[in-house]
Amino acid sequence: MIKVKIDGKEYRVKPGITILQVARENDIYIPTLCDDPRLEPYGGCRLCIVQIKGMPRPVTACTTPVTDGMEITTTNEYIEGLRKTIVELILSDHPNDCMVCEKAGDCSLQELAYFYGIRTNPYYGERRRYTTKDNNPFIERDMEKCILCGKCVRVCSEVQGVGAIEIAYRGFTAKVTPPFEKDLNCEFCGQCVSICPTGALMGKSSLGKGRQKDVKKIETVCPYCGCGCNMTLHVLRNEVIRVSSRPDNFHEGWLCVKGRFGFEFINSPDRLKRPLIRVKPRDKNSKELPVPDLNDFREASWDEALDLIANKLREIKDKYGPDAIAGLSSARCTNEENYIFQKFFRAVIGTNNIDHCARY
């Protein structure tokens, strides 16, 4: 352990970690737009600048490792003045449409503008404008709101290992783009959406359905596979409008395309909410599978439905033998439920005809 002094207070810390890491571990606020603890340090936004005794100019806290005896100043009038200027410069190339922005209330840039009391911008001039929209099916890319923090590029490369996007060109013309400026065509995991600090990246399925006010957050577990990833459902007017995930879980808040965008089945009007029993018999001579028609079924209680299933299984087993029955399990069930399912078929029914949808 080494000793460092931050804002006049001494701390014992591990050698090799950055100033920003020390500040976070000790609940010392340093603003940042480009840093995320799950990604490698980048030093792009320059908002985390601090002063170190003996150094002639401020340095970025996210890329500067601590050394023994280092004396650090995280805030004073000079530093806050520099940070305010940086935010103003970012805003000078940013659309002023917070009133209708999907990210309002959850935007890091908006919070910094509020914190520094920026109501007007002293820097005027040409602003980047993009008229062409990306036609990919999942992610809304509003590049005029991009602040070039590089988070989306880094998470795509460092976490997903895909590298579907990169910062192209230089200077004023620099922008995040897929190869050859074509429409985004990737795994659509949505990690870039979850990590974007502004409204530059949003899920298309969530657009116009609600922002932060009156949104209820419900913690649950992703039903699509056996990994058990944490999910936070954002619910407004009894409808799921988007899905996020907390980073303090074993999967660090990362989700796949199904977990992040495959939630619309919850609100589907065709979703079954209670057991149904067929009242209209099938045409046994037809070689084609019948198209389901709710008029061919009636609602039933769970007890009635389970009794009917048990009786039918018993009849088939007695008449044709246990191997006339097969079971197909689901990845949306838990591991324990799938274990019970296969145990039921092997020990009770007496067959090994078991399969699982995730095997294919």
> Using one digit for the tens of pLDDT, what is the confidence trace for 46-100?
999 999 999 999 999 999 999 999 999 999 999 999 999 999 999 999 998 899 9
Q: What is the model's pLDDT at position 359?
A: 66
Question: Is the four-CA dihedral 150, 152, 155, 161 of positive or negative sign?
Answer: negative
Q: What is the model's pLDDT at position 90?
A: 95
In terms of residues, how long is the chain? 360
Whole-structure pTM over 0.85, yes or no? no
Residue 327 scores a pLDDT above 90: yes
pLDDT band at 319 (very low <50, low <70, confident <90, very high): very high
193, 202 contact by CB (below 8 A): yes
Least confident window among 16-20, 164-168, 270-274, 330-334:
330-334
Q: What is the mean pLDDT of the chain?
A: 92
Higher pLDDT: 143 or 359? It is: 143
Residue 188 scores a pLDDT above 80: yes
How close are the terminal C-alpha atoms of the chain, in Å?
51
Q: What is the mean pLDDT of residues 9-25?
A: 95
149, 90 contact by CB (below 8 A): no
Tokens of 51: 């002063």
pLDDT above 90 covers a percentage of the chain that reads 80
pLDDT above 70 covers a percentage of the chain that reads 98
Annotate the chain with three-state secondary structure: CEEEEECCEEEEECCCCEHHHHHHHCCCCCCCCCCCCCCCCCCCCCCCEEEECCCCCCEECCCCECCCCCEEECCCHHHHHHHHHHHHHHHCCCCCCCCCCCCCCCCHHHHHHHHCCCCCCCCCCCCCCCCCCCCCCCEEECHHHCCCCCHHHHHHHHHCCCCCCEEECCHHHCEEECHHHCCCCCCCCCHHHHHCCCCCEEEHHHCCCCCCCCCEEEEEECCCCCCCCEEEEEEECCEEEEEECCCCCCCCCCCCHHHHHCCHHHHCCCCCCCCEEECCCCCCCCCCCCCCCHHHEEECCHHHHHHHHHHHHHHHHHHHCHHHCCEEECCCCCHHHHHHHHHHHHHHHCCCCEEEHHHC
Q: What is the mean pLDDT of residues 244-262?
A: 93
pLDDT band at 283 (very low <50, low <70, confident <90, very high): confident
pLDDT band at 164 (very low <50, low <70, confident <90, very high): very high
149, 176 contact by CB (below 8 A): no
Q: What is the model's pLDDT at position 360?
A: 55
240, 233 contact by CB (below 8 A): yes
User: Which domains does the chain carry?
Assistant: 2-75 (3.10.20.740), 136-204 (3.30.70.20), 212-271 (2.20.25.90), 276-359 (no CATH)
> Using one digit for the tens of pLDDT, what is the confidence trace for 222-249?
888 778 899 999 999 999 999 999 999 8
- According to DSSP, the residues that pair with 232 across neighbouring strands are 219, 244
Q: What is the model's pLDDT at position 268?
A: 85
pLDDT band at 281 (very low <50, low <70, confident <90, very high): confident
Least confident window among 32-41, 274-283, 312-321:
274-283
User: How many Cβ atoms are within 10 Å of 104's Cβ, its own excluded?
Assistant: 15
Compute the half-sphere exposure of residue 160: CA atoms within 13 Å on the CB side of its CA: 24
Higher pLDDT: 183 or 272? It is: 183
Question: Which residues fall within 8 angstroms of residue 97, CB to CB, at 6 or more apart?
Answer: none
Residue 358 scores a pLDDT above 80: no
